[in-house]
Amino acid sequence: METLKKQLFHSIKEIILQARQRVFRMVNSSLLDTYWQVGRLIVEDEQGGSVRAEYGKNVLKELARELTEEFGKGFDYTNLTNMRKFYLAFSNLDTLRQELSWSHYRLLSRLDSDEKRLYYLNESITNNWNSRALQRQINSLAFDRVLVHSTEVTGVLTAQNIIKDPYIFEFLGLPSEVKNSEYSIESAILDHIQQFLLEMGKGFAFVARQQHIVTETSDFYIDLVFYNYLLKCFVIIDLKTGTLTHQDIGQLDMYVRMYDDLKLSGGDNPSVGILLCSDKDETIVKYSVLSDNNKMFASKYLLYLPKEEELKQIIDEDRVRFDLNKEIE
């Protein structure tokens, strides 16, 4: 009897949840349509009157006052400005994705290029980001940290389209002003695995920590192993808390080769290796197997979220070196 009651409860619960989801989608769709239409009318009125910026601002303020008196604070000056940006950023109503809320679109509308908007929109849907997660990804310049965005030539997703440099791990809650042990970083990653997977990007699933690999003569322990279902390959991560050395690169190279030999099944692509290091020696990277290998990467990690200008400088410096290495190849 108790089992039947539980089954009945879960069946009714599922019906209610599905109904609520349908209601949410309908309300969300209506809200997006309304805000898009309001934004369109504002933009068309500006264009039709060829108004100067200051005059248009005053018109919007007066319009906000009248609409707020009639409908409440949802139509104040700030929201009307957001609706205007919304229409300008997404001028085709039919392309709006109903999986995303007004909070998502408000953030996306502030971005300065179509390429960035498309990236964050697709990532939000693929990774099921809520608006807070989207805000964090924008603030941490996730788009700029991806090594390569272009897949137009081959249409095939590569590791370079997913891997970032640097990675931002401020959510681990570890102090950045002291040297943390590899063990403490690994433990923090496992404690915050959902946020870690969001930071790593789309397609990652956790496999193992300190995975034991046995050969005929030796035992090895790989720090972290993931599987990326989009690349259809294992991703081996080796954590380093000091400056990157050629021994570190050699060890990762051995782990990748060993994993391919001992663990891959018929449907798996060759494994990818990532050295996550607190400091990179670019000379060692340039003259190592990393420079001409599209399956092994060294990425710096930060335990704090830098200010935007500092982060942009770090990214720009890494990209210059990355592009130089690609030219050498």
Q: For the domain that residue 285 is a member of, what is the CATH number? A: 3.40.1350.10
Percent of the chain clearing pLDDT 70 (strictly above): 90
Q: In which band, very low, low, confident or very high, does the pLDDT at 177 lie, cut at 50, 70 and 90? A: confident
Predicted confidence at residue 272, as pLDDT, reads 95
Q: Are residues 39 and 187 in the same domain?
A: no
Q: Domain end: 96, 131, 165, which one? A: 96
Q: Average of pLDDT values for 282-293?
A: 72
Q: Are residues 175 and 283 in the same domain?
A: yes
Q: Are residues 189 and 92 in the same domain?
A: no
**288 Cβ partners below 8 Å, 6+ apart?**
246, 249
Domain count, the chain: 3
Q: Are residues 158 and 242 in the same domain?
A: yes
- Predicted TM-score of the model (pTM): 0.84
Q: Are residues 89 and 122 in the same domain?
A: no
User: 72: how many CB neighbours lie within 10 A of its CB?
Assistant: 9
Q: Are residues 293 and 195 in the same domain?
A: yes
Q: Are residues 189 and 280 in the same domain?
A: yes
Predicted confidence at residue 280, as pLDDT, reads 80
Alpha helices by DSSP H, 162-298: 182-191, 193-200, 246-262, 282-286
Predicted confidence at residue 100, as pLDDT, reads 94
pLDDT tens string 115-130 = 999 999 999 998 889 9
pLDDT tens string 242-272 = 888 889 999 999 999 999 998 888 889 999 9
The closest alpha carbon to 115, from 149, 161, 156, 151, belongs to 149
Predicted confidence at residue 152, as pLDDT, reads 52
Predicted confidence at residue 321, as pLDDT, reads 58
Q: What is the largest CA-CA distance in the chain?
A: 81
Greater confidence (182 vs 284) lies with 182
Q: Are residues 184 and 309 in the same domain?
A: yes
pLDDT tens string 56-95 = 678 889 999 999 999 888 899 999 999 999 999 999 998 8
Q: Are residues 260 and 310 in the same domain?
A: yes
Question: Domain range spanning residue 128?
Answer: 104-139
Q: Are residues 39 and 75 in the same domain?
A: yes
**316 Cβ partners below 8 Å, 6+ apart?**
none
Q: In which band, very low, low, confident or very high, does the pLDDT at 328 lie, cut at 50, 70 and 90? A: very low
Q: Residue 148 pLDDT more than 80?
A: yes
Q: In which band, very low, low, confident or very high, does the pLDDT at 27 lie, cut at 50, 70 and 90? A: confident
Q: Are residues 55 and 161 in the same domain?
A: no
Look up tokens 């609409």; give the residue: 67
Q: Are residues 124 and 161 in the same domain?
A: no
Predicted confidence at residue 289, as pLDDT, reads 72
